[in-house]
Amino acid sequence: MTGLIIDRRRAPRGSLVHWACVPLLAGLSPGTAAEPLATLGPDSIAVVADPQTAARPIPPALAPYFTAVPDAATTPDRDGFLRRWLLLEPIAKPNRTNTGFTATYVRQALAASQPGSPAAIPRDGQIKEAAALLRWHALDSKGFDVKLFDFAKALGAPTYGVIFWAVTIVDSPREQRDVRLAVGSNAASIWWLNGTEAVGLFNDRRMVMDDVLSDRLTLRKGRNVIRGAVINGPGLSSFCVRFVDEAGRPITDLTTHVR
C-alpha cells in the first residue's frame, strides 16, 4: 500500500503545493520522499511522503471493505464504478446536523480544508485537528461504493463531523465527448475533473447511485484526474462515482490507478 501524510505542523510559511502533485507523490520511492515536498501558510496543509508506510499492507480493520492496491492498474467494475482511490484520513469538521450543507457552505468548508491547494488557507478555528497527522491510503473498494465511515472507523479516526478527500486517476484510451460524471454521496460533496469542478451534491444526501450527474464533459485521451471531497455530520459517509455516456450507459473501457 502506498501512504502519504498530510502534516500541518511542518508546513513552513509561504510555500505552495498543488493538488495535482498528490497522485504523483503517492508513487515516489521512500528515498525521494524523505524531504518535505512543499510548504504552505501557517495554518495550511503540507503534503509529504511517508517512507515508513509506502508499501505497507492495509490495516486488518480495513479488510472487510477494502483491499490493498497492487502495482497494476485496474478497470472500473462492470457497472462502471471507479473502485480505486487515494483516500485521505478524515479532517475533523464538526457539524451536529447535516441540514446546513448548502452549496455556499460546502464550497467554503471544502475550500478551507483542501490539502495542498494554493487557495486553501483555513480560517482560524475551522479545522481543529490542525496538529493531526493525516495519512493518504491507496485502496481498492470491495463494493461499488467507497465506505468512508468504515474507512475512518477502522483507522480509529473521527467518523462524525468530518471531511474526506479522495483522488483517482483515470486513463482513457481515446478522447470521449459528452460523458457525464455520475456521483452519489453521503452527505454533500464536490468533484473535480482535471481541475475543473464537475459535480456538486448539496444538502443532506443519502448515497445512491447516479444521484447527481455533471454536465456533458470530455474525457481526455490518456490521463484524467478526479478529485472529490465529502463532508458529513452525523451518520454514515460514503460515495460512488462512475462515468456514463449520453445514453446513460456505464463507461467501462477505462483504467484507473493512483500513481
Partner 1 sequence: MRCGLIAVCLGFAGAAPAAAQLAGEPFIHDPSTVTLSDGKYYTFGTRGGGLVSEDGWTWRGGPERPGGGVAPDVIRIGDRYYVAYAVGGGGMGGGHASQVKMMWTLSLDPASPRFKFHDIGVVASSDGVETADAIDPAFLYAEGRLWLTYGTYFGPIRMIELDPKTGLRMAGNVPVDVAIDMEATAMLYRDGYYYLLGTHGTCCDGPNSTYHIRAGRARSPLGPYLDHMGIPLLRGGGKMVVSARGRRIGPGHFGRIALAGGVEKLSLHYEADMDRSGRSVLAIEPLRWTGGWPVVGETVAPGTYEIASERSGYALSLATDSVRIPFDVRRSFMAAATDPVGPIPDQTLAQDSADWPRGRIRVDLADYLVRPHQLWTITPVPAAGGYFGAPYYRIAIAGTSRMLAATPNGEVETITAATAGAEPLWQIDQLTDGSYRIKPKAVPGDGRDLALVAIGASTPTLAAFDPASPAGRWTFKRP
Which residues make up the interface to partner 1 (CB under 8 A)?
99, 102-105, 180, 182, 201-203, 208, 210-213, 215-216, 244, 246, 248
The residue among 214 and 224 lying less far from partner 1, judged by its C-beta, is: 214
41, 140, 143, 185 from 64: Cα distances, Å: 38, 11, 10, 20
The residue among 44 and 214 lying less far from partner 1, judged by its C-beta, is: 214
The residue among 36 and 200 lying less far from partner 1, judged by its C-beta, is: 200
The residue among 27 and 200 lying less far from partner 1, judged by its C-beta, is: 200
- Closest residue by Cα to residue 258 from 74, 76, 90, 116: 74
End-to-end CA distance of the chain: 11
| Residue 111 grid coordinates | 475550500
The residue among 246 and 253 lying less far from partner 1, judged by its C-beta, is: 246
Specify the DSSP class assigned to residue 208.
-
Q: What's the min distance (Å) between Cβ of 201 and partner 1?
A: 8
Q: What's the min distance (Å) between Cβ of 213 and partner 1?
A: 4
Q: What's the min distance (Å) between Cβ of 178 and partner 1?
A: 9
Q: Provide the CA 210 distance to its chain's centre, in angstroms.
A: 18
The residue among 101 and 136 lying less far from partner 1, judged by its C-beta, is: 101
Q: What's the min distance (Å) between Cβ of 218 and partner 1?
A: 12
Q: What's the min distance (Å) between Cβ of 168 and partner 1?
A: 20
Name residue 85's beta-bridge partners: 139
Measured at the CA of 77, the angle between CA 72 and CA 78, to 5 degrees, comes to 130
CA pair distance 160, 179, nearest whole angstrom: 34
DSSP assignment string, 70-127: -SS-B---TT-B--EEEEEPPEE---S-STT--HHHHHHHHHHH-SS-TT--PPTTT-
Q: What's the min distance (Å) between Cβ of 240 and partner 1?
A: 12
CA pair distance 158, 154, nearest whole angstrom: 10
CA pair distance 160, 154, nearest whole angstrom: 14
The residue among 127 and 244 lying less far from partner 1, judged by its C-beta, is: 244
